[in-house]
A and B are shown apart, each in its own frame.
Chain A
Amino acid sequence: MESSRQSSYVRKMVYASLFAALTAAAAWISIPIPLSPLPVTLQTLFTMLSGAVLGPYFGVLAMIVYVLLGLIGLPVFAAGQSGPGVLFGPWGGYLIGFVFGAAVTGLIAGAKEKPGLAWLCMAMAVGDIVVYVFGVAQLALILQITLDKAILIGFFPFVPGDILKLAIATVIAGKMKV
């Protein structure tokens, strides 16, 4: 965990699998919230972390593997769901957003050779916003509702939880090196 040397390709692949598994397991730890049919889960915590810790390539790979597992039927999406119907349904935008969010976080975090806590926090915050951009856009598109209404049910209810998760992720990302 503390090693400063770069891990090999194979080891990073295994770490990416671990983050995919963590994201999957996080879907089951959910807290129902008012205003939104989707519960708060710890998933975005691991999306942010996989980008920040694994970098853009392996971070994205981790999220792709996670989404693939859900697509083929493993109940790893929020509320124990799975299958292509979820990905292309109203709430599927967040899943697509996970992939892009991890990429953006990884790219920003990797832009500096030794990113400080503030930089990591910023990288993860931007990545998290990317997740919501995809989530809210698909929500508005599929449910045929206006963008402000989509933001009201698809973004605002999650803000307090995400600020907390961002703080947690910053602490962890600062300590973790793979």
Chain B
Amino acid sequence: MSGAEVFQYIDGDTYVHKLNPLVKILFSVFVIIAGIINGDPLVLVLLMGIPIVALIVAGMIKDIITQGKMLLIVFALLILISVLTVRTGEMYSVSGVGLATYDGLLTGVLISLRLGAMFFAFLLLVTTTKPGDLVNTLVSRLHFPMDYALMIMITMRFIPTLQVEARKITEAQAVRGFKPAGLSDMSRIIGPTITPLLSNSIGRAGSLGHVIELRGYRSNAKIKFTEIPLKMKDYLSIAGIIALTVGFGLYALGYI
């Protein structure tokens, strides 16, 4: 897995990249809320399809395939969990052994589709929006507390870094002949892998803290953001999202 760039901004010059971050945030919020309210598999497929189409427009077919493969494993796991836990409804049996129920399968598929819709909406938001612009919009337009916005962005940056670091340490230890296997070796993993991972990342976080301080963060001077202006295509896209919301609301109320 190319852990380095999971959920990170990928530079581009497409229609989706040029959209105001606010539009993409609104779209993500719409997908999350609509996904929770709705229990219709077809609507959920549609909700998952829109961000996928937008990602294709943004030229990220390769990323969709990479992430899609990972997501399929998660889907399989989620369906397995709900098949094992939900045992109500019509039972499907193979040679007398009850394998799964209709309710169990449906719950698994619904959870998976919901997750997929949210996943791709979020992927669209973070891979096509510059992190700085995202913080700017969160703070200046949505009045999100600056500290939280910054912490969320730093955390998102750290996750792939940690993955790469963990892989490097594991490879380095494998070269030295250390190869843990199974639960019994869990305790043996700490010394050679978790400790260097922690000390390395703490060192890195310390340096990052220094840099942020050097740039004057929290030095009594208030940081001012200039709002990124909304253009015609942004207004059109917002109108599209409103239309989707209305259409969805009418469908949910049973008018369509």
Q: A: which residues have CB within 8 A of B?
A: 1, 7-18, 20-22, 24-25, 31, 37, 61, 65-66, 68-69, 72-76, 79-85, 161, 164, 167-168, 171-172, 176, 178
Contacts and interface: CB of A to CB of B under 8 A. Distances in A.
A16 B151 contact: yes
Q: What's the dominant secondary structure at chain A's contact region? A: helix
B74 A84 contact: no
B147 to A, nearest CB: 6
A97 B159 CA distance: 22
Given A69-B152, A82-B122, A167-B187, 4 more contacts: A10-B212, A17-B205, A21-B156, A68-B152
4 A-B pairs with the lowest CB-CB distances in the bound complex, closest first? A11-B209, A73-B122, A21-B158, A17-B154
Nearest to B219: A10
Nearest to A58: B151
Chain B interface size band reads 35 or more
B135 to A, nearest CB: 13
Given A37-B84, A82-B119, A83-B32, A176 B159 contact: no
Nearest to A66: B155
B176 interface: no
Interface in B100-152: 111, 114-115, 118-119, 121-122, 147-148, 150-152
Contact of B122 (A31, A74, A178): A74
A72 B114 CA distance: 13
B203 interface: yes
B155 A73 contact: no
B155 A69 contact: yes
